[in-house]
């Protein structure tokens, strides 16, 4: 994010200057098309009223605090989520720490300290399934009832659908776990991205003439199902996008057991060690499988590269 973008982020209520606002609230994991619709509605309403638009989110999933170990894998890092929220055009992104104290906060106290506090809410826009406060006791009805006394209106928006399927972070994870990155991209409004540091692997790709970047992914993040994918790759902080073939799996031809994420960049050789690589998944090419030897593997990878070029050309990618 640029300095101007960072100026639109508050890391706690103490960083918020008091001003009347139109507010939307959610965890917003993935900032998918449903989230985008909600946020854009808040931005338009704020513009119409001459008020500040604010997206309130949290630094971690509530389940990580309430039921440690039960939380879903994240679709994106916190900072990538915040950047995506800023990109939606809100005047302010407020990131609240979800800690034990927050998990035990009664819903009416959340309303009093957050919405009626420095945000000075004049309208609150949330999804119809929005819950908040201790034991998720707060809902849209409570928000509306409290707003009548505190001077804000409440608007609840239904879920956006892709065909017959509602778009949600849970549904996107489910499709990624099945390897359906194309559906996930349509639900997100952009390709699903996996980001991580490039670390040294076993170097087998280079020995067979197909060097790969071994991307170390935070274990808390969602990755697509094992398989081979057409993708684009970019060094974080750099503008260039490179076509790539990405393998997620255990490398069974070489007797591997640990799941790795490896990217072979096409048409370019870069020293990527020590950088962070962002992989944008476009389409699934095939399942990962074991080959009789390196020669058979190389032949299949050549076919994968050709298939990836076709898929990427069809999306207008590099």
Residue 243, domain member (yes or no) = yes
Greater confidence, 30 or 258?
Answer: 30
Q: Is the pLDDT of residue 97 over 80?
A: yes
Instruction: Assess contact for 102 and 96: CB atoms under 8 A.
Output: yes
Residue 199, domain member (yes or no) = yes
Average pLDDT in the chain: 93
Rounded mean pLDDT, 247-251 = 85
Cα separation of 218 and 201, whole Å?
16
pLDDT given for residue 259 in this prediction: 86
CATH of the domain at 243: 2.40.30.30
Q: Is the dihedral of CA 148, 154, 151, 115 positive or negative?
A: positive
Indicate the pLDDT class of residue 318, thresholds 50, 70 and 90. Answer: low
300 shares its domain with 237: yes
Question: What are the DSSP calls for the chain, one per residue?
Answer: --HHHHTTEESSGGGPPP--EEEEE---TT--HHHHHHHHHHHHHHHHHT-EEEEEEESS-HHHHHSTT-SPPBSS-HHHHHHHHHHTT-SEEEEE---HHHHT--HHHHIIIIITTTT-EEEEEEETT--BSGGG-B-HHHHHHHHHHHT-EEEEEPPPEETTEEP-HHHHHHHHHTT-HHHHHHHHTS-EEEEEEEE----HHHHTT---EEEE--TTB--PPSEEEEEEEEETT----EEEEEEEE--GGGT--S-EEEEEESS-----TTSEEEEEEEEEEE-----SSHHHHHHHHHHHHHHHHHHHHHTT--
Number of structural domains, the chain? 2
pLDDT given for residue 105 in this prediction: 97
Residue 165, domain member (yes or no) = no
Whole domain around residue 150: which residue ranges? 3-158
Indicate the pLDDT class of residue 81, thresholds 50, 70 and 90. Answer: very high
Span 98-153, pLDDT tens digits: 999 999 999 999 999 999 999 999 999 999 999 999 999 999 999 999 999 999 99
Residue 24, domain member (yes or no) = yes
Residue 175, domain member (yes or no) = no
Residue 170, domain member (yes or no) = no
Q: Is the pLDDT of residue 253 over 80?
A: no
pLDDT given for residue 293 in this prediction: 78
Could you tell me what percent of the chain has a pLDDT over 90? Answer: 83
Rounded mean pLDDT, 79-92 = 97
pLDDT given for residue 290 in this prediction: 81
Cα separation of 104 and 109, whole Å?
10
CATH of the domain at 86: 3.40.50.620
């Amino acid at each position: 994010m640029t300095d101007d973008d960072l100026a639109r982020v508050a890391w706690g209520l103490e960083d918020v200057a008091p001003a009347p606002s139109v507010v939307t609230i959610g965890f917003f994991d993935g900032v998918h098309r449903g989230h985008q619709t909600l946020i854009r509605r808040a931005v338009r309403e704020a513009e119409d009223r001459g008020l500040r638009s604010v997206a309130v989110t949290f630094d971690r999933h509530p389940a990580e605090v309430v039921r440690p170990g039960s939380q879903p894998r994240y679709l994106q890092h916190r900072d990538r989520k915040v950047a995506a929220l800023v990109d939606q055009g809100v005047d302010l992104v407020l990131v609240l720490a979800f800690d034990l104290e927050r998990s035990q906060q009664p819903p009416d106290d959340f309303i009093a300290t957050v919405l009626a506090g420095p945000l000075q809410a004049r309208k609150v826009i949330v999804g119809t399934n929005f819950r908040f406060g201790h034991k998720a006791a707060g809902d849209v009805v409570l928000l509306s009832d409290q707003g009548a006394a505190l001077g804000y209106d409440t608007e609840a928006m239904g879920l956006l659908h892709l065909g017959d399927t509602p778009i949600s972070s849970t549904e996107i994870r489910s499709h990624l776990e099945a390897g359906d990155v194309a559906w996930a991209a349509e639900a997100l409004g952009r390709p699903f991205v996996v980001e991580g540091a490039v670390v040294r692997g076993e170097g087998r790709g280079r020995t067979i003439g197909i060097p790969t970047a071994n991307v170390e992914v935070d274990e808390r993040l969602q990755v697509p199902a094992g398989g081979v994918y057409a993708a684009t790759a970019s060094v974080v902080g750099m503008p260039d996008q490179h076509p790539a073939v990405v393998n997620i799996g255990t490398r069974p031809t070489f007797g591997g057991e640990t799941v790795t994420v490896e990217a072979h960049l096409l048409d370019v050789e870069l020293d990527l060690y020590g950088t962070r690589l962002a992989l944008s998944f476009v389409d699934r090419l095939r399942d990962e499988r074991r080959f009789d030897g390196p020669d058979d593997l190389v032949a299949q990878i050549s076919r994968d590269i050709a298939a990836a070029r076709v898929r990427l050309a069809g999306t207008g990618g590099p």
